[in-house]
Amino acid sequence: MASNSMTCSYKNCDQGKTIKQEDGRVDVRGFHVSKKERKELAADWSEDGLATFHQACWNLLCKSRSGDLEGVKLSKTEAKLIDEATKTAEFHDSEDCFQREADRIADMLKNASYCIGFTGAGISTAAGIGDFRGIHGKWTNNDKVKQYGASSLSSSSTKVVKRNYRLPTYTHEAIVKLMDMNIVKYLISQNTDGLHRLSGIHAEKISELHGNGFQEKCEKCGIRVLRKSNTRDKSSQAKVPALKCPRCKINHRTGNKCQQPGCDGFMMNTIINFGDYLEGPILQAAQDNAEKSDVVLCLGTTLRVTPAADLVVE
């Protein structure tokens, strides 16, 4: 957040109320609550269910859902709010915790015999690309509207995010460095933004399970080509005969034709939509590397989307 400090939403906070930037905190989002209802709650929830807590205060509220614990009595409405908020809660570690965890993870990476990376949409939010399961994620917003109606979304929830697909973040660059150092051997990604390839990761070192918005493939000969613009956005404008996918019902053709001598097939985007099967060779490469791994560095993912998430096991 832009400010140097925040205020804990728990009304009986005994942590000093102020949450400094170096402190640990939890940002959560429940559902729409009327002004009258909010007056009776143990926490200062916003109208659309947003709240920020010290980690200790959040843990206390979570433990209190089943009844009176340490003097905290929650209403049924607030218990439901907390249940809902746990689905997308975002934890921000304190500076001390961050340093300890960084040292612990560094040791794990250095001592791993075969470490792989696994990434999701969260690593690209710093590039201006919205995520899916975060507090204001696309699927989070969709779920809110389906369950609670359009009033569950505030202007901050529905604002248009300016997407800049061509600027890898520090996280993308750090992964490249770890691969150059031979610490991370392979990368599996659920992202379609193309930033991993743009950051310098070679095609043979990555499985982009859900496709790459900047990569086309010929539906006839199978050759793949990286483009400078997002091929997915062009499918609806393609000046070639549309061919709806029998599984996702979307036209994958981009309007380009294959340039391989003697082919002249139609080029398609490589995005895996809901209903599509993951591409066999790409999934197989991911499975092979996952089976060899003893450490998986997971970044920016809730590990809720299958079959991708099934590749990561304890």
Say how many residues make up the chain. Answer: 314
**Torsion of the alpha carbons at 29, 34, 40 and 46, rounded to the nearest 10:** 30
- Residue 172 annotated among the catalytic residues of the structure: no
Three-state DSSP state, 150: helix
Indicate the residue type of 17. K
Among candidate residues 277, 278, 270, 279, the one with its CA nearest the CA of residue 217:
270
Catalytic pick among 54, 172, 210, 252? 210
Residues of the chain by 3-state class (helix, strand, coil), percent to 5: 35, 20, 45
In angstroms, the CA 75 to CA 64 distance is 10
Which whole-number Å values give the CA distances from 73 to 7, 51, 80, 245, in the listed order? 21, 18, 13, 53
6 strand-pairing partners: 19
Active site residues: 210
